[in-house]
Amino acid sequence: MMQLHGDLISPFFRMCLVTAHEVGLGTKVRHVEARVNPTSVNAEQSSDL
């Protein structure tokens, strides 16, 4: 199962989620909620920190 990390307020996340459903992968994608902020790095998601 693919995990999609993001927040529903993100237009990119919503686009990915809709596309997955349109191509028939909606049941294979799991939403993992992650808070996003365009001006700072999410330390939980970044492996570079």
Average of per-residue pLDDT across 20-42: 86
More confident residue, 20 or 5: 20
pTM: 0.67
Are 11 and 38 in contact, with CB atoms under 8 Å apart? no
Phi, psi of 44 (to 5 degrees): -70, -30
Q: Tell me what pLDDT residue 49 has.
A: 44
**Nearest C-alpha neighbor of 11 from the set 32, 30, 38, 49:** 38
Q: Tell me what pLDDT residue 22 has.
A: 96
Average of per-residue pLDDT across 12-29: 93
Q: H-helix or E-strand containing 18?
A: helix 11-22
Residue 37 has pLDDT above 60, yes or no: yes
